[in-house]
A and B are shown apart, each in its own frame.
Chain A
Amino acid sequence: MNRKLLALAPLLVFVLLCVFLYQGLFANPRELQTGRIGQAMPAFNLPDLMDESKRWTDSDLKGEVYLLNVWGTWCPTCLAELGYLTELREQGVKIVGLYYEQGYDPDFDGQFDINALRDDVTSMLNRAGDPYQFNILDLKRTLALDLGVSGAPETFLVDKQGTILLHHTGDINPRVWQAKFAPLMQELQ
């Protein structure tokens, strides 16, 4: 009996392995979560994308449920999700943009043309829809690093107390919204 069980063990281990491998086929291995889930929004003090004299801090954002959407004009997936995000804004979801500029290198300070960037942003938002209440410019990507952002698009869901509840990498579409965001939003409202 013992011997038979022992002979069966490799098969059982293999079957278990196959279950995990099968599930793995439907998962996205590149999807990542920030280490900030359940923590407060990190402190920051950054300028507005369109108006350098205006500054935003973490406390400005408290008191409302909002999405923080990391994006950039250089990113085609961001362009693709603008339409649906605009729809969400029309449904009353508050969306704040965190502008993630890839072209800026802190080692070459002073060579960056902010006006050209603003023109790009304006034309892209005019074309594809503007879902944002406002945009924060994170030129040095310090807030992005504090949030554990690795690229764009990425979206955070933050509650009234300023706690980060959700981090989604990749675009937001109706399917993702229904599966990940909608249930939490309902709870918060």
Chain B
Amino acid sequence: MIPELGYFSLTLAMVLSVLLCIFPLWGAHTGNLRLMRAAPSLAIGQFVFVLLSFAALVYASLTDDFTVSYVAYHSSSTLPWYYKITSTWGGHEGAILLWLVMQAGWTAVVAMRSQSLPWVLRARVLGVLGFLGVGFMLYTLLMSSPFERLLPYFPVEGRDLNPLLQDPGMIIHPPLLYMGYVGLSVSFSFAIAALLTGKLDNTWAKWSRPWTMTAWGFLTLGITIGSWWAYSELGWGGWWFWDPVENASLMPWLVASALLHSLSTTEKRGVFKSWTVLLAIAAFSLSLLGTFIVRSGIIVSVHAFASDPNRGMFILAFLAIVVGGGLSLYALRVSQVKSEGRYKFASREVALWLNNIFLVVATLIVLLGTLLPMIHKELGLGSISIGEPFFNKMFAILLVPFAILMGMGPLLRWKQNKWSMLQNKFALSAVVSLVATAAWLYSSYDVIAPITFIATTLAVWIVVTTLVDLAAKVTIHKTLGEGFKRLGLSYWAMVLGHVGLAFVIAGVTLTSAYSVERDVSMKPGDTVALSEYQYSFDGVKSIRGANYSGHAGVVTVLKNDKQVTVLHAEKRRYDIGMQFMTEAAVDAGFTRDLYLALGEQLSQGAWSLRIYHKPYVRWMWLGGILISLAGFLVLGDKRYRQKSTKQEASA
């Protein structure tokens, strides 16, 4: 009964979202305030019913209702309760339902926190969000309902959640990522609403900015957690593989990063207006494109999502309508827009424009690299692969101008700068960065490749210039405390974001350059050395978990004859499905990770083991977390919290 209620509830939500799509848009078009005023309550009602529907699925999963096909395929009675909840987004149908919850949730929050917007704009934003909701709900109800029953013959036990997904990463990674993807639909809706209204002034940029920042913060965190999860779960120490699914999340992130910078330029200076709108459309379009790539199975990816051409067709059609519609509107309206601001070459405007160019080029590289193999084959030219060597090379090249600019940007002022006034600061920062990097690297490593040195210097450069700028801005006031207080939250967000990226750059560079590994076969009592650590194999013991059994290889790690830690690397066999899973053992550290994976049993009591020494690998995720904090920090900014009643009066 409950699953049917879930389906019914979703149907009701769909009805509400159809109304949410029609009433406010029609009302805004005809100037009917009553119709427009219906939007917020419709949005909130839609969210409530979607949430009820999701709760029904969670309930079915928690109560082991294997008459529900989705639960039978993605859960089992032996799963711990938290993985039963997780299993509701462990499969395609449930994942889309989670997406819907997020979509409806964002819509409801927009409805509640947009009182200060003029009704015409507010109604249009919610109307566009309603339209997006209709599309996804239609898809769920027609093509991928998670509430279908297996009656009258249903299994007594479920097929279990894929062991790969039984990980804390799975609990938080998809919800965070979807929050990001779906959050970008808010930026999209603001852009479309602004285009419909025909007023592309800096006010829409101001309203759109906090939403975009938040969505981008979630997306950053989602990608970071995903990378960390792959690292800890897959058993070969990889954290990024340029897989189509990873690329699908990176593209919207890159464009959203460009959008943030562009939004601030448009807001503050009234320039790049049409460009900013285009980015807002592109960011969400790439979210949708990513979904299509992942869910349609058109590209071979390591993530084996169920693929179905009919579903692919639906998503493609939806993609074509949303993005095609958005871009058509853009083509119609944007040629009337004129930029107002004037600026010289040495100005923050130009720096931010170049930042946008580099981020868009990075997106383009990822997009081409992801889709070209498919197009290449369709043109009858044969199969090619585009992966790590290509992307790494291109991103390494792009990093140089991007990071140099990133260090300079914050020190530049709007409109124009006297180069002579900046020269000294830049020269000093460059010298400090070079010296600091040299001291750091030469004290730790014997061999330093030029590329490693350059990339590390760039990371240090970003930190140094940020600090120089911070110092200059703080010391301008009488006391330091006063100086710190006067800096707005969005300035601190900039500092966090940039320093975070510096950590990512340093982490990626150093872990790529100095990671070492050994693939060994060991008998109990054997010791091998890797870097400055000795790994002594104590043997293998049996383990038993809630829904798996297996072995754990016990390895004592020594450094200078002192015990550092004892690692337990597991090889699990899950009771249902009998799949083997490697559960790597990691000793995490600020400057290095020790990573151990247990392989198969060899002859005469020997086991194969993979040992990795990964310097600075944590810095990547630490950096990712710092960057995402930048996104959330802006929420506290007074300028966005205090709903300016002025705006309403003037509108």
A adjacent to B, CB under 8 Å: yes
The docked-state distance in angstroms from the alpha carbon of A15 to that of B323 is 10
Q: Is the CB of B316 within 8 A of A18?
A: yes
Considering the complex, give the chain B residue whose CB is closest to the CB of A8.
B331
Q: Is the CB of B296 within 8 A of A29?
A: no
- A20 CB contact (under 8 Å) in B285, B334, B378, B382: B378
Q: How far is the CB of A132 from chain B (nearest CB, A)?
A: 29
Please indicate the chain B residues that have their CB under 8 angstroms from the CB of A6 in the complex: 335
Considering the complex, give the chain B residue whose CB is closest to the CB of A2.
B335
Q: A4-B335, A21-B292, A24-B298 are in contact. Are A29 and B374 (CB under 8 A)?
A: yes
Residues facing A in B303-331 (CB within 8 A) are 309, 312-313, 316, 319-320, 323-324, 327-328, 330-331
Q: Is the CB of A10 within 8 A of B278?
A: yes
Please indicate the chain A residues that have their CB under 8 angstroms from the CB of B332 in the complex: 7
Q: Is the CB of A7 within 8 A of B324?
A: no
Q: Does A116 touch B at the CB level, under 8 Å?
A: no
Main secondary structure of the interface of B (DSSP, over half): helix
Q: Is the CB of A10 within 8 A of B298?
A: no
Interface string of B277-317 (1 = CB under 8 A from A): 01001100100000010001111100000000100110010
- B324 CB contact (under 8 Å) in A4, A14, A23, A31: A14
Please indicate the chain A residues that have their CB under 8 angstroms from the CB of B335 in the complex: 3-4, 6-7
Q: Which of B297, B300, B335 has the most CB of A within 10 A?
A: B335
- Interface size class of chain B, counting residues whose CB lies under 8 Å from the partner chain: 20 to 34
The docked-state distance in angstroms from the alpha carbon of A25 to that of B374 is 10
Q: Is the CB of A25 within 8 A of B330?
A: no
The docked-state distance in angstroms from the alpha carbon of A4 to that of B330 is 10
Q: A7-B274, A7-B334 are in contact. Are A29 and B300 (CB under 8 A)?
A: yes
- B383 CB contact (under 8 Å) in A4, A22, A32: A32
Q: Is the CB of B331 within 8 A of A11?
A: yes
Q: Does A39 touch B at the CB level, under 8 Å?
A: no
Q: Does A54 touch B at the CB level, under 8 Å?
A: no
Q: Using a Cβ cutoff of 8 Å, how many contacts connect chains A and B?
A: 69
Q: Is the CB of B324 within 8 A of A11?
A: yes
Q: Does B480 touch A at the CB level, under 8 Å?
A: no
Q: Is the CB of B382 within 8 A of A33?
A: yes
Considering the complex, give the chain A residue whose CB is closest to the CB of B301.
A29
The docked-state distance in angstroms from the alpha carbon of A111 to that of B274 is 70
Q: Does A30 touch B at the CB level, under 8 Å?
A: yes
Q: Is the CB of B378 within 8 A of A10?
A: no
Q: Is the CB of B298 within 8 A of A25?
A: yes
The docked-state distance in angstroms from the alpha carbon of A20 to that of B332 is 25
Please indicate the chain B residues that have their CB under 8 angstroms from the CB of A18 in the complex: 316, 319-320, 324
The docked-state distance in angstroms from the alpha carbon of A6 to that of B281 is 16
Considering the complex, give the chain A residue whose CB is closest to the CB of B373.
A29
Q: Does A43 touch B at the CB level, under 8 Å?
A: no
Q: Which of A8, A10, A15 has the most CB of B within 10 A?
A: A10
The docked-state distance in angstroms from the alpha carbon of A155 to that of B274 is 54
Residues facing A in B350-393 (CB within 8 A) are 371, 374-375, 377-378, 382-383
Residues facing A in B464-510 (CB within 8 A) are none
Q: Does A188 touch B at the CB level, under 8 Å?
A: no
Q: Is the CB of B316 within 8 A of A11?
A: no
Q: Is the CB of A25 within 8 A of B378?
A: no
Please indicate the chain B residues that have their CB under 8 angstroms from the CB of A32 in the complex: 383
Q: A7-B274, A29-B299 are in contact. Are A24 and B378 (CB under 8 A)?
A: yes
Q: Does A145 touch B at the CB level, under 8 Å?
A: no
Q: How far is the CB of B321 from chain A (nearest CB, A)?
A: 11
The docked-state distance in angstroms from the alpha carbon of A3 to that of B278 is 14
- B323 CB contact (under 8 Å) in A3, A4, A14: A14
The docked-state distance in angstroms from the alpha carbon of A29 to that of B375 is 11
Considering the complex, give the chain A residue whose CB is closest to the CB of B244.
A29
Q: Which of B292, B313, B327, B334 has the most CB of A within 10 A?
A: B327
Q: How far is the CB of A148 from chain B (nearest CB, A)?
A: 11
Q: Does A179 touch B at the CB level, under 8 Å?
A: no
Q: How far is the CB of A35 from chain B (nearest CB, A)?
A: 9
Q: How far is the CB of B245 from chain A (nearest CB, A)?
A: 14
Please indicate the chain B residues that have their CB under 8 angstroms from the CB of A33 in the complex: 382-383
Q: A18-B316, A29-B298 are in contact. Are A24 and B274 (CB under 8 A)?
A: no
Q: How far is the CB of A109 from chain B (nearest CB, A)?
A: 13
Q: A20-B374, A25-B313, A29-B374 are in contact. Are A11 and B296 (CB under 8 A)?
A: no
Please indicate the chain B residues that have their CB under 8 angstroms from the CB of A11 in the complex: 324, 327-328, 330-331
Considering the complex, give the chain A residue whose CB is closest to the CB of B292.
A21
Please indicate the chain A residues that have their CB under 8 angstroms from the CB of B324 in the complex: 11, 14-15, 18
Please indicate the chain A residues that have their CB under 8 angstroms from the CB of B319 in the complex: 18, 21
Residues facing A in B327-343 (CB within 8 A) are 327-328, 330-332, 334-335
Q: How far is the CB of B147 from chain A (nearest CB, A)?
A: 26
Q: Is the CB of A30 within 8 A of B298?
A: no
Q: A3-B335, A7-B331, A14-B323 are in contact. Are A30 and B309 (CB under 8 A)?
A: no
The docked-state distance in angstroms from the alpha carbon of A7 to that of B335 is 7
Q: Is the CB of B374 within 8 A of A24?
A: yes
Please indicate the chain B residues that have their CB under 8 angstroms from the CB of A4 in the complex: 331, 335
Q: Is the CB of A10 within 8 A of B316?
A: no
- A23 CB contact (under 8 Å) in B281, B313, B378: B378
Q: Is the CB of A10 within 8 A of B297?
A: no
Please indicate the chain A residues that have their CB under 8 angstroms from the CB of B297 in the complex: 29
Q: Is the CB of B383 within 8 A of A10?
A: no
Residues facing B in A45-65 (CB within 8 A) are none
Considering the complex, give the chain A residue whose CB is closest to the CB of B383.
A32
Considering the complex, give the chain A residue whose CB is closest to the CB of B296.
A25
Q: A11-B324, A20-B371 are in contact. Are A25 and B299 (CB under 8 A)?
A: no
Please indicate the chain B residues that have their CB under 8 angstroms from the CB of A8 in the complex: 331
The docked-state distance in angstroms from the alpha carbon of A11 to that of B298 is 22
Interface string of B176-203 (1 = CB under 8 A from A): 0000000000000000000000000000
Please indicate the chain B residues that have their CB under 8 angstroms from the CB of A15 in the complex: 324
Q: Is the CB of B316 within 8 A of A21?
A: yes
Please indicate the chain A residues that have their CB under 8 angstroms from the CB of B328 in the complex: 11
Please indicate the chain A residues that have their CB under 8 angstroms from the CB of B383 in the complex: 31-33
Q: Is the CB of A25 within 8 A of B375?
A: no
The 3 closest A-B pairs by CB, nearest first: A24-B298, A11-B327, A8-B331
What are 12 A-B pairs at a CB distance below 8 A?
Answer: A3-B335, A4-B335, A7-B335, A11-B327, A11-B331, A20-B375, A21-B319, A25-B298, A25-B309, A27-B374, A29-B297, A32-B383
Additional pairs, 11, CB under 8 Å, beyond known A7-B332, A24-B296: A10-B327, A14-B323, A18-B316, A21-B319, A24-B374, A25-B313, A25-B316, A27-B378, A29-B297, A29-B300, A29-B374
